[in-house]
Amino acid sequence: MQTLKDMSPEESAPDIAIIGGVSTFLPRDSESSLLETPFGNVNAYFTKGNGRNVVIVPRHADGAKHVPPHRINYRAIVMAIKQLGVERIISVNSVGTMKNHPIGSIVLAEDFLDFTRNRISTFYDDITAHVDMTEPYCPQIRQTFKSVLKKRKMGFSEGVYVCTEGPRFETRAEIRMMSQFGDFVGMTGVPEVVLAKELKLCYASVCTVTNNACGMDEKKVTASEVVNILQEKRELLFDVIMEAIEQIPENRNCHCSESMTDACL
């Protein structure tokens, strides 16, 4: 397993941010630093691994309290990362499969469908801003992950991420409908990806399949099932992410920084 070295925010500016999910891997005995933004405060952990400076933001953490997906302050998280000068985000998500992906496998989002309803999904409240979402997930980061996974001979899939409001699980009817257009379903990928694009950041989503979506088999979907799979796969996923971080080129070679070109009216 790769190792992380704790460091303070002042020690060195981070190169890459990881937004972690329910089973976020944090450095041993590390302490969080409070980052202030116009949208609220964010707890972050500054670490070093494989020669790169990394900031880890657990999206569900608010002190000792677990924040449900529909109440996460996505704007504060993404803005805090931007204020640190970070240009790349790796998002870690858990998903249910609608296309029989193996439980515990990794899927890389290549596009998304938004079925959320009540979340603030833009930084632009005073002007009209039409951010370009032609390629929502950074191709350079995605290609790096594909290379790492192929090198490790780990099976993986790509597909369309469907984001629902939560915190309830989806109904059988909803999954039947959404499976016609999407491949896996989760509750945290949107508006995170949209906000990252508004700030011209590179963003990629690395998902762990934790369960079959409702109606895909006879079993009832449970929260404990999701957590158990995440804990089981946490260290392997962490190793994959750290290897990918090491291999991501220092210079961006994508169009993510152009997502807001001629976007505002």
Residue 185 is assigned to a structural domain of this protein: yes
Residue 93 is assigned to a structural domain of this protein: yes
Euclidean distance between CA atoms 174 and 114, whole angstroms: 13
> Which tens digit of pLDDT belongs to each residue from 177-209?
999 999 999 999 999 999 999 999 999 999 999
Looking at residue 206, its pLDDT comes to 96
> Which tens digit of pLDDT belongs to each residue from 41-54?
999 999 887 778 99
Euclidean distance between CA atoms 189 and 205, whole angstroms: 8
Residue 234 is assigned to a structural domain of this protein: yes
Residue 263 is assigned to a structural domain of this protein: no
- Residue 221's CATH number: 3.40.50.1580
Residue 202 is assigned to a structural domain of this protein: yes
Count: domains in the chain: 1
Looking at residue 204, its pLDDT comes to 98
Residue 265 is assigned to a structural domain of this protein: no
Looking at residue 13, its pLDDT comes to 77
Which segments of the chain have a pLDDT < 70?
1-12, 22-23, 27-30, 63-64, 265
Looking at residue 216, its pLDDT comes to 82
Residue 70 is assigned to a structural domain of this protein: yes
Question: Is the Cβ–Cβ distance between 56 and 20 less than 8 Å?
Answer: yes
Question: Is the Cβ–Cβ distance between 170 and 213 less than 8 Å?
Answer: yes
Residue 264 is assigned to a structural domain of this protein: no
Looking at residue 218, its pLDDT comes to 75
Question: Is the Cβ–Cβ distance between 57 and 81 less than 8 Å?
Answer: yes
The C-alpha angle 207, 38, 121, rounded to 5 degrees, equals: 45
Residue range(s) defining the domain that contains residue 70: 5-258
Looking at residue 3, its pLDDT comes to 44
Question: Is the Cβ–Cβ distance between 25 and 208 less than 8 Å?
Answer: no
Looking at residue 131, its pLDDT comes to 94
